[in-house]
Amino acid sequence: MRAGESRAAWGSLVVGILSVATMPLAIYGTRFSGSYNLLHAGFAIPVTAGLGLAALGLSRRSRRRASASLAAQRDGVAVAGYVLGVVGLCIAASALVALGVYGLLEYVGSRD
């Protein structure tokens, strides 16, 4: 590892990638299962959000350690993990909104 990079930085990058990949993989898995439909993919929303928050936390820890050390240089790996964590949270939020709109439309459609 180089001077500014830590395990927390690499952890934030890996967890951020997992956060971004969880929801699309859950949705993609619905195409190949007869008992697992698109609404069941909604159970991946908290997983995606949790991984996104974990990526943000690990990135913050890494950046704090880097700023406290004498070699306070910008850690690109931690920044990438932070960005991926934010993207993962955005994916979780958009999936939650989509699920809410679907539920609302189902409710309004069942009233007729």
pLDDT 10s digits, 15-62: 999 999 999 999 999 898 888 888 888 999 999 999 999 999 999 998
Domain ranges of the chain: 7-110
Residue 72 has pLDDT above 60, yes or no: no
pTM: 0.85
75-102: average pLDDT: 94
Q: Please write down the HEC assignment for all residues of the chain.
A: CCCCCCHHHHHHHHHHHHHHHHHHHHHHHHHHCCCCCHHHHHHHHHHHHHHHHHHHHHHHHHHHHHHHCCCCCCCHHHHHHHHHHHHHHHHHHHHHHHHHHHHHHHHHHHCC
User: What pLDDT does residue 39 have?
Assistant: 87
User: What pLDDT does residue 3 have?
Assistant: 47
